[in-house]
Amino acid sequence: MAADFYRAFDRAILRDAFNPPRQDDYRTVFHQDRDRIMFSPAFRRLQTKTQVFQAGEYDFYRTRLTHSLEVSRIAESLAIWLRRAQRDVAIDFQLLEAVCVAHDIGHPPFGHAGERALNALMADHGGFEGNAQTLRILTRTIYHRAEGRSGMSPSRALLDGVLKYKRLYADCAGDAHHFIYDDQADILAFCFGTRDLAAKLEGTKPNEFKSLECQVMDLADDIAYSCFDIVDGWKARFLAPDKLESWRSARALEPAQHRHLDLLIDLMSNGKLQAKMNGLIGELIQSATLKKSTNFMTPKTRRHAWKLVVKPSALTRIKLHKALCKDLVYGSSALRQIEFKGEKILGQLAQTLFDNYLAPSGKPSALVPGDTHRCILDAPDASAKARLLCDHLSGMTDAYALRSYKRLLDPDYGSISELI
């Protein structure tokens, strides 16, 4: 039954120095989670952060904001579909929406190029990763108050839902992706009751262990990428029938992949691609089923008692679409040039701020907003200062990062009206 799927364990609120008690009101815990994220500056900034194409380039391309909203809608449809077969699996829609709209709020400007730039600069200070930054925003920085920054006192189910990655930076052996920060071990302990998740999983890799809501969000994210990036790539003329034929000729594809490619070519030739991609979402949703799972968390929560299973034919199509986009859209020289520029801009801007605030001697200039400047000056050590600078940089929109770069590093730019 819907009211019984979640337990007090799932609704428990993170409580620590950064996350004060919540006040009860007319909303459920998960309703509050969703509202706190959607009404936050961190969520609004997604409207001008790069998804595939630079934010603001054209009106019809997706941004991080529209992508997050689309993922939330696909996820809700998935939850409805799954319940048709498993009536006792009643995923809370407000919790699921909270997970989906939160899943990208930690991403920096300029997409993955910005993520690489910040991770390189933070190599000696705990690294940078978009998913880890999402956790940091939810639990440490989403609110800016006179007394300092704080988290949103998130529920355990919400945190577990956005925890795609559970490997600590110290354990990533130089891998530049798919980790959380070392000081987020407390979040793992809160979610799972252990700091050594790998030992509890008996061979399962920590990053593969996901709650039901996280699995649904992850599949919805894959469906969104595999359908909508194809449409945006076609509209931007990176994908066209002749380009798909050339791509096919250089690869050994399975018969099913050839059929899917033939369909894409036909749809592009006849101007029907967008309509078909919208319909394909429904097909991919209906390829998902649930199977029972047993692990160390199942006595505590039903959220870890189910595995999401997707038909191989659907996974083949998703894989093909993502490969097309990787090679012909993301890997194109035009987008590589834009990525290169974004990485250089953010990297140079970040290095300038790091040089100013992490210098061993001298009084730093006030190169960031006043409250951030004061927090950095009060930070106890270089790594704490670096993390605060990284918060500031990763929270920038593409336009704000470019404007800040110009103000600090472009000798011909000096508009006093553009406040930093």
Give the residue from 52, 101, 46 showing the smallest Cα distance to 322.
Answer: 52
Mean pLDDT of 139-143: 96
Residue 163 CB neighbour total at 10 angstroms:
26
167: pLDDT strictly greater than 80: yes
With a cut of 90, say whether residue 368 has pLDDT above it. yes
Asked if residue 178 has pLDDT above 60, the reply is yes
pTM for the whole structure: 0.93
What does the pLDDT read at residue 59? 54
pLDDT of residue 308 exceeding 60: yes
Q: Which position has the higher pLDDT, 24 or 216?
A: 216
Round to whole Å and give the CA distance between 198 and 134: 22
Q: Which tens digit of pLDDT belongs to each residue from 315-356?
A: 999 999 999 999 999 888 988 898 899 999 999 999 999 999
Residue 7 has pLDDT above 90, yes or no: yes
pLDDT of the residue at 76: 98
Residue among 99, 98, 224 at smallest CA distance from 162: 99
Give CA 278 to chain center in angstroms. 22
Does the pLDDT value for residue 173 go beyond 80? Answer: no
Q: For the residues 198-210, what does the mean pLDDT come to?
A: 89
Whether the predicted pLDDT of 147 surpasses 80: no
Beta bridge partners of 373: none
The number of beta carbons lying within 10 Å of the beta carbon of residue 122 is 23
Quick one: pLDDT at residue 53?
56
Cα-based angle 94, 97, 98 (whole degrees, multiple of 5) = 85
Percent of the chain with pLDDT over 90: 75
Q: How many CA atoms lie within 13 A of 379 on its CB side?
A: 19
Place of tokens 């336009």: 399
Average pLDDT, the chain: 91
Does residue 293 sit in helix, strand or coil?
coil
Judged against a pLDDT cut of 60, whether residue 103 lies above it is answered with: yes
Average pLDDT over residues 293-303: 96
Check residue 50 and report its DSSP letter: B
| Alpha carbons 55 and 57: distance in angstroms, whole number | 6
**Coil, helix or strand for 115?**
helix
Q: Is the pLDDT of residue 159 over 80?
A: yes
- How many residues make up the chain in this entry? 420
pLDDT of residue 1: 38
Is it the case that residue 263 has pLDDT exceeding 90? yes
Which residue type sits at 8? A
Location of structure tokens 């590093």: 409
| Average pLDDT, integer, range 384-398 | 96
Name the amino acid, one letter, at 207.
Answer: N
**Dihedral, 139, 145, 147, 148 alpha carbons, nearest 10:** 40
Question: Which amino acid, 395?
Answer: G
Query: Is 207 within 8 Å of 164 (Cβ atoms)?
Result: yes
- What pLDDT sits at residue 150? 94
Q: Is 111 left (phi over 0), alpha (psi -120 to 50) or beta?
A: left
Q: Which domains does the chain have, with CATH numbers?
A: 2-200 (1.10.3210.10), 213-333 (no CATH)
